[in-house]
A and B are shown apart, each in its own frame.
Chain A
Amino acid sequence: EAGVAQSPRYKIIEKRQSVAFWCNPISGHATLYWYQQILGQGPKLLIQFQNNGVVDDSQLPKDRFSAERLKGVDSTLKIQPAKLEDSAVYLCASSVATTGELFFGEGSRLTVL
Chain B
Amino acid sequence: KNEVEQSPQNLTAQEGEFITINCSYSVGISALHWLQQHPGGGIVSLFMLSSGKKKHGRLIATINIQEKHSSLHITASHPRDSAVYICAPTGNQFYFGTGTSLTVIP
Contact = CB atoms under 8 A, between A and B. Distances in A.
A42 B86 contact: yes
Give the size range of B's interface with the partner.
Answer: 20 to 34
Give the size range of A's interface with the partner.
Answer: 20 to 34
Given A33-B94, A42-B97, A48-B93, A102 B45 contact: yes
Given A99-B30, A106-B42, A107-B42, A42 B92 contact: no
Interface string A84-105: 0000000101000011011111
B31 interface: yes
B90 A99 contact: yes
B99 A42 contact: yes
B41 interface: yes
B87 to A, nearest CB: 9
Interface in A17-55: 33, 40-45, 48
Interface string B1-28: 0001000000000000000000000000
Contacts of A48: 93
Given A91-B42, A98-B93, A104-B35, 7 more contacts: A40-B98, A42-B96, A45-B93, A93-B43, A98-B92, A103-B45, A106-B42
